[in-house]
Amino acid sequence: MNLFLSLSLLGLATASSSSNSLTDVVTPQKGASCACKRLSRTFDGVIFPKNASYTEQAADKYWDIRADLSPACVFLPASADEVSKAMSLFNSCNAQFAVRGGGHMNARSNNIDGGVLVALEKLNDIQVKKDTVEVGPGLTWYDVYSALEPHGRVAIGGRLKTIGVPGLSLIGGFHYFNSKYGYAMDNVVSYDVVLGNGTQITATKSSHKDLFWALKGGANNYGLVTKFTLRTYDMPKVSTTIQVYNESGIPDFLNAVCDMALLDEKDPIAAGMVASVQYNATTKVTSASVLGVQEGISKPPSRFANFSAIPATTRINNVTTMKQWATDLDSPKQMFRVMFSHKTMKPDAEVLVSIYKAWKDAVDQIADVEGLYPTFVTNVASAPAARVALTNGVGNVWGLEDTGHILWQFSTGWALAQDDLRIEAWSRQLAESLHAINVEKGIASEFVYMGDAGEWQDPFAGIPKENVARMKEIRSSYDPEGVFSRLNWGGFKLGL
């Protein structure tokens, strides 16, 4: 997933999230008074603006300052049954609501002004089985890695400590081990779901299998997931590398990213990375970093040999566990306003370097923005990663062909609300113009990953049309009253 990565070790940063596309369609106030009053009569876990813990729930739980909104009340359900009753209540009150898992998502994707915020932190049960783990939506991936560590097992989840389980799992899910095991969504074996009418069902490969497919990348368009059962893998140790390069090494660095995207082996090694470039528009200092993880013991990790061949200012190799690795990979809380813009291309080192240079030149145009923190992020979507869904008998909504791709992204932080429109216009225009060049070159893909997308983008436009049509049919079947279309606020919504 794209990432705003804060490393206590190196002070590096990059970014990841999903955002809202519904803000100009509806107003959330209608029905909120009805819902909040009825919730407070029925349940203990209801917080109003007058309560001492309101600010913590409505703002402090979020990492992006732009996500700080003012819900009419916050509801903290303690069970799936409470979620079910609340969903029926929202429907009868015609109350708009948002749902928060880990709170890592981008602005307005999991909070709401004037409606009901459903905060899932009390749904935090976790049960480790032989080769699966049952996970509540109130947990972060660090919680999952911590529970699995004593068993020597790993789940395919978030790359940052504070990324929540539900958001990442429902939008797709980039992890270090996608190249061998597929995306987070490909590793969910069942979903416990509360539908818009309050009905509780379990979707698996054999039961409600249409919904099971649709939840693999379909986001919050169908229901509220109250439990994920995830496949786990025997992996007591992982090999890690942290490498930092100065500006002269960036062309070779981006060439190594392309090499990683082009890898297509019959028996792939599970290995992946966060690869990003940071630029200080004031000091004009540029650096690049790779944070790599590989399954098993290999010091240095062999899959990152191309990166290790580049002269580095910092190089740290280690053998550790996923829990220990993730401990320092935290998101900065309430530190930035954040904007994402992302596009996808076939691996081409020359073009990728030209995009980086154009981005750096463009950053200088907004150097006067207070608190400017620009990051150029690259994520690899390899052929073996896509092949998992093509061969597992289930698939996912993405429908990616089994060829390598690079997702390039501008992740921009800044301080003041007065610069919001300027940053969005700058980021959008730059991404679209560079993507248009790639279209002309014949190396562009229209695939847009929700976790890297700006709120102005439409991820469904890059999904095969037949998949989108099937998703809409499934939505109509499981949510005929349109609760998650007309009342649920935030996230990327399927069109009508």
**What pLDDT, in 10s, does the model give residues 146-201?**
999 999 999 999 998 889 999 999 999 999 999 999 999 999 999 999 999 999 99
Domain with CATH 3.30.465.10 in the chain: 126-235+465-481
Q: What percent of the chain has pLDDT over 70?
A: 93
Question: Does residue 296 contact residue 239 with C-beta atoms inside 8 Å?
Answer: yes
The pLDDT tens digits for 20-29 are 343 334 455 6
Domain with CATH 3.40.462.20 in the chain: 238-462
Distance (Å, rounded) from C-alpha 30 to C-alpha 97? Answer: 11
CATH code, residues 238-462: 3.40.462.20
SS3 assignment, position 21: coil
- Decide yes or no: CATH 3.30.465.10 for domain 126-235+465-481: yes
Strands annotated E in 196-336: 200-203, 224-234, 238-246, 271-280, 285-295, 314-320, 329-330
Strands annotated E in 235-284: 238-246, 271-280
Strands annotated E in 88-237: 97-100, 116-119, 126-128, 132-135, 153-155, 188-194, 200-203, 224-234
Tokens 């528009």 belong to which residue? 281
SS3 assignment, position 28: coil
Helices (H), ranges, 216-291: 250-262
C-alpha dihedral (109, 148, 320, 271), degrees to nearest 10:
-60
The pLDDT tens digits for 225-265 are 999 999 999 999 999 999 999 999 999 999 999 999 999 99
From the options 3.20.20.70, 3.30.70.270, 3.40.50.1820, 3.30.43.10, give the CATH code of 28-119.
Answer: 3.30.43.10
pLDDT at res. 71: 95
pLDDT at 109 over 90: no
**Beta bridge partners of residue 295, listed in sequence order:** 238
Whole-number average pLDDT of the chain: 92
Q: What average pLDDT does the segment 96-123 reach?
A: 87
Question: What is the number of other CB atoms lying within 10 angstroms of the CB of residue 137?
Answer: 26
The pLDDT tens digits for 471-482 are 999 999 999 999
The pair of structure tokens assigned to 264 is: 């297509």
Distance (Å, rounded) from C-alpha 213 to C-alpha 178? Answer: 18
Q: What percent of the chain has pLDDT over 90?
A: 85
In sequence order, the 6+-apart residues with CB closer than 8 A to the CB of 64 are: 17, 105, 106, 107, 336, 337, 338
What length does the chain have? Answer: 496
The pLDDT tens digits for 411-447 are 999 999 999 999 999 999 999 999 999 999 999 999 9
pLDDT at 405 over 90: yes
Distance (Å, rounded) from C-alpha 372 to C-alpha 385? Answer: 34
pLDDT at res. 160: 85
